[in-house]
Chains A and B, each alone.
Chain A
Amino acid sequence: QSVLTQPPSVSGAPGQRVTISCTGSGSNIGAGYDVHWYQQLPGTAPKLLIYATDNRPSGVPDRFSGSRSGTSASLAITGLQAEDEADYYCQSYDSSLNVVFGGGTKLTVL
């Protein structure tokens, strides 16, 4: 059981918009700690996608965006493309547990 809760899977057709939620608690996201997102393409290492809620590293398309509210955060992907099919993980800091990850969400592009 992960400290941060994500839906196991989401799907969408090319061109559509999908969102992935990440729910924490008062000791992590709710305490104001930053939320970050990673993309893991099949058979590869994770890659930083979004940092500090809504910031994109250089090279990440602006189709990817993040937001947060209360004890939750969300990743939105607009203009869905086949290459976006991957596992997505949220991550934060927890005052008791140090670094924590969500369980991951598998995105399927229909």
Chain B
Amino acid sequence: EVQLLESGGGLVQPGGSLRLSCVASGFTFNNYAIHWVRQAPGKGLEWVSLVRGRGGSSDYADSVKGRFTVSRDNSKNTLFLQMNSLRVEDTATYYCAKDKSGVDGLIYYYMDAWGKGTTVAVSS
């Protein structure tokens, strides 16, 4: 069974930093791209970033580009989201989600499994 478990959320002041983790199990982690998607309280889903399984290259939404960095440790089946220069508008539940992906590394750009999320609150 595919499982994703996020952690690392919490309360941080504006301008601060936080590092989220996502531990995966039930699939060959390094074969799959993984997304971060966030949801502000009472709002819709917003895509944040994607890190590819092979090579680990990444993409970011304009709203977080230059502030957030995604990385992965394939030896530990773990994905990280380093969030710097946090803003009040970054307050959200952050989900990691597995891309459908292909065995050949092709990215399908949709999510077939989601974690339960971790909550980040940015406030003074």
Contacts and interface: CB of A to CB of B under 8 A. Distances in A.
B59 interface: yes
Nearest to A87: B44
A87 B48 CA distance: 20
Interface stretch (A12-20, A46-54, A70-78): A46-54
A99 B44 contact: no
B61 A38 contact: no
B95 A46 contact: yes
Contacts of B61: 97-98
B110 interface: yes
A39 to B, nearest CB: 11
A48 B109 CA distance: 12
Interface of B: 35, 37, 44-47, 50, 59, 61-62, 95, 97, 100, 108-117
Interface in A42-99: 44-48, 51-52, 57, 87, 89, 91, 93, 97-99
Q: Secondary structure at chain A's binding surface: helix, strand, loop or mixed?
A: strand
12 contacts: A34-B109, A45-B116, A46-B45, A46-B114, A89-B45, A97-B61, A98-B50, A99-B35, A99-B47, A101-B37, A101-B44, A101-B45
B50 A99 contact: yes
A21 B5 CA distance: 32
Contact of B112 (A51, A99, A101): A51
Given A48-B111, A48-B112, A91-B110, A103 B59 contact: no
Given A46-B95, A48-B112, A97-B62, 5 more contacts: A46-B45, A48-B110, A48-B113, A57-B112, A104-B45
B101 to A, nearest CB: 12
A102 interface: yes
A103 B43 CA distance: 8
Nearest to B59: A98
A47 B52 CA distance: 21
A70 B95 CA distance: 31
A47 B117 CA distance: 13
B109 A45 contact: no
| 10 nearest A-B residue pairs (beta carbon) | A99-B47, A104-B44, A36-B110, A45-B114, A93-B109, A101-B45, A103-B44, A48-B112, A98-B59, A45-B116
